[in-house]
Amino acid sequence: MRTRLAALAVILLTLVGCSPAASSSAPTTSASAEAAVIGLTYIPNVQFSPFYVGVAQKLYSTPVTLRHHGTSEGLFTAITTGAEQFVVAGGDEVLQAREQGTDLVAVASYYRQYPVRIIVPGDSTITSVAGLKGHTIGIPGKYGESWFGFLLALKEAGLTVNDVTVQEIGYTQQAALATKKVDAIVGFVNSEPIQLQAAGIAAKVIDIGAVPLVSICLVTTHAYATAHPDVVKAVVKGTVAGMQAVVANQDAAFQASTTYVPGLSDAATAKGAKAVLAATAPLFQNTDGTVTGTMDATAWDAMSAAMLSAGLLKAAQPSSDAMTNAYL
């Protein structure tokens, strides 16, 4: 999730021209009880519109505060210190953190589809992941969903990192591709392709296939869930309702986002943000188009096995410890 959201932050910074704050607090629901803090990481973006809609339409039956971390804060820092009670993060990131001793449990899915893609110039002869052999690939860094997805995509294609040249380029994918610094970049379906299109740069998107990884989830700690089960249920219910509302009415979701995301009154910025929103909404949906927030324990166990095989974990992380549908 850290990689994905930083990439989306680049889009917003490009379109809006502002700098991210260290943290940003959003309006809370009106109630006397202490609010549960939901960590959304980095800067405000329409990708988080389900939460914005949830607050605007009073879909949360418990008071919540939405908090953006800023770029200098670790993904799980605030939840481990108790400054946040929830955070959005990739299932793969959850497994790695759990192995390092962090008390985390996923309580609802957010992105049902894994969003990592390979992007190449419009005139590139590369048409598949297998076609990356011998080429230079730009990636933000060797961490997070972009790195995990890339490694597993190579493996599914019968390749390893030894078959390609990996360049860590930070969040400069657009420039790196446009200037031919690299032959391909690793990005996200609701990020880099939109950014490139807005800049008038021809590009092709290559699907990485059905990699056995679970994408972004709503995460809390076992300790908090045990102590506050009703709050967890309320936050899960409100978040799922927010996702459903976004899928049902993107215009309303965009309007709710204007309270949180700076610069959306600018026509060009609004156009880019709406394109991001249109590419993000399908990620919330099951294959039948429904939005349920449910998670598949089998998929989590398959992810654990795949990450173990790829050297991303040292020991299996069973789904029974890492995720639960009990609060849906």
- Residue pLDDT, tens place only, 283-309: 999 999 999 999 999 999 999 999 999
Mean pLDDT value of segment 9-38: 48
pLDDT at residue 8 tops 60: no
Dist CA 64 CA 85 (whole Å): 10
Mean pLDDT value of segment 266-270: 93
Higher-confidence residue: 27 or 285?
285
pLDDT of residue 1: 52
- Residue pLDDT, tens place only, 54-73: 999 999 999 999 999 877 88
pLDDT at residue 6 tops 70: no
pLDDT at residue 319 tops 80: yes
98 touches 221 (CB < 8 A): no
109 touches 293 (CB < 8 A): yes
Task: Tell me how far apart the 2 most distant CA atoms of the chain are, in Å.
Answer: 60
Dist CA 176 CA 184 (whole Å): 9
Question: Residue ranges of the domains in the chain?
Answer: 2-112+214-322, 116-207
As a whole number, the mean pLDDT across the chain is 90
Give the CA count within 13 Å in the CB-facing half-sphere of 57. Answer: 23
- Residue pLDDT, tens place only, 128-182: 999 999 999 999 999 889 999 999 999 999 999 999 999 999 888 889 999 999 9
Phi first, then psi, for residue 306 (nearest 5°) are -65, -40
Strand pairing category for 136-139 and 165-168: parallel
Classify residue 162 by its DSSP letter.
G
Query: What CATH code would you report for 2-112+214-322?
Result: 3.40.190.10
284 touches 111 (CB < 8 A): yes
pLDDT of residue 152: 96
The residue among 204, 208, 233 whose CA lies nearest residue 220 is 233
Strand partners, 188: 116
The residue among 236, 248, 203 whose CA lies nearest residue 110 is 236
Could you name the CATH architecture of 116-207? 3-Layer(aba) Sandwich (3.40)
Mean pLDDT value of segment 99-110: 97
The residue among 190, 192, 185 whose CA lies nearest residue 168 is 185
Mean pLDDT value of segment 275-283: 97
Higher-confidence residue: 13 or 240?
240
Q: Within 10 A of 66 (CB to CB), how many other CB atoms are there?
A: 22
pLDDT at residue 223 tops 80: yes
- Residue pLDDT, tens place only, 106-117: 999 999 999 999
pLDDT of residue 174: 87
pLDDT band at 21 (very low <50, low <70, confident <90, very high): very low
| Both tokens assigned to 228 | 């506050």
pLDDT at residue 9 tops 80: no
Percent of the chain with pLDDT over 70: 90
